Homo-oligomer: A and B are copies of this chain.
């Protein structure tokens, strides 16, 4: 566990699947994370314990990803397990980022190039399993482009014949998901994920505080997909502005957390990215 100089990484004492499950738990625990469920905040119908149960239920799918199961198979299993609680969709987006990252880590390469290899290798079968996953859970999404209507994810398994007809892989589906923050990670080398992971590693103090600060930094830098989907572009832009103003002032961030919960503003996509970043930071040896 010694630090052998710049670039040296401590090894994680946990497997990739364990780090992914722990990332889900640390993400929901880090507080304040304005607008999201965290150690200090519940939403009206979505409570802390739903995320705990969601993380435990995701474990089997994450272990399958670690063992080399196809991304779609592992993801569908993780989502199905996540859904064994009464809160509804807790960690769908987190899992969409974590599953390929676990695959890359298990292959010894949890880097931008390693995870890009994983997502670019996805198949039509992975895309079909992704669509099947929507049958387990209600995910807030915006309308797809017109020529993608038959592939609206809300169609679930009914979209599978069209996927096969057009030969679309899961990577192709992500590439067509314009303006979705998680899809942008898939097609852009998980760039915000890796940047936020380095921020967490470079920061000081308890890991939950580091994750909270990384969350606010991400929120202040780019519009949140879920906020834009639910509240429109003006509110999404306003959230970025308010996060940028509060950033660095713990009291202001705490006030923002209470305000966003009261206003029903839930930047869930930013939580997905900080969860994925936490996984990468754990793989790179951040101390817990």
Taking Cβ atoms with an 8 Å cutoff, the residues of A that contact B are 13-14, 18, 21-22, 25-26, 29, 39, 47-50, 52-53, 55-57, 59, 84-86, 206-208, 287-288
Contact = CB atoms under 8 A, between A and B. Distances in A.
20 contacts: A13-B84, A14-B53, A14-B57, A14-B84, A18-B56, A18-B57, A18-B59, A22-B52, A22-B53, A22-B56, A25-B55, A25-B56, A26-B49, A29-B48, A39-B48, A47-B206, A49-B207, A49-B288, A52-B288, A59-B59
Contact of A206 (B26, B29, B49, B56): B49
Contacts of A13: 57, 84
Cβ-closest 10 pairs across A and B: A13-B84, A25-B52, A53-B288, A22-B56, A85-B288, A21-B56, A18-B56, A49-B208, A49-B288, A14-B84
Nearest to A47: B206
A145 to B, nearest CB: 37
Nearest to A206: B47
Number of copies of this chain that the complex holds: 2
A85 B29 CA distance: 16
Nearest to A42: B206
Contact of A288 (B25, B39, B50, B287): B50
A86 B286 CA distance: 11
A85 B85 CA distance: 27
A14 B48 contact: no
Given A25-B56, A26-B49, A26-B52, 5 more contacts: A18-B56, A21-B59, A49-B206, A53-B288, A86-B288
A89 to B, nearest CB: 15
A18 B63 CA distance: 13
A5 B264 CA distance: 39
B56 A14 contact: yes
B29 A49 contact: yes
A48 B207 CA distance: 11
A8 B2 CA distance: 56
Contacts of A18: 56-57, 59
Nearest to A208: B49
Contacts of A84: 13-14
A26 to B, nearest CB: 6
B48 A208 contact: yes
Q: Which one of A21, A52, A55 has the highest number of Cβ atoms from chain B below 10 Å of its Cβ? A: A52
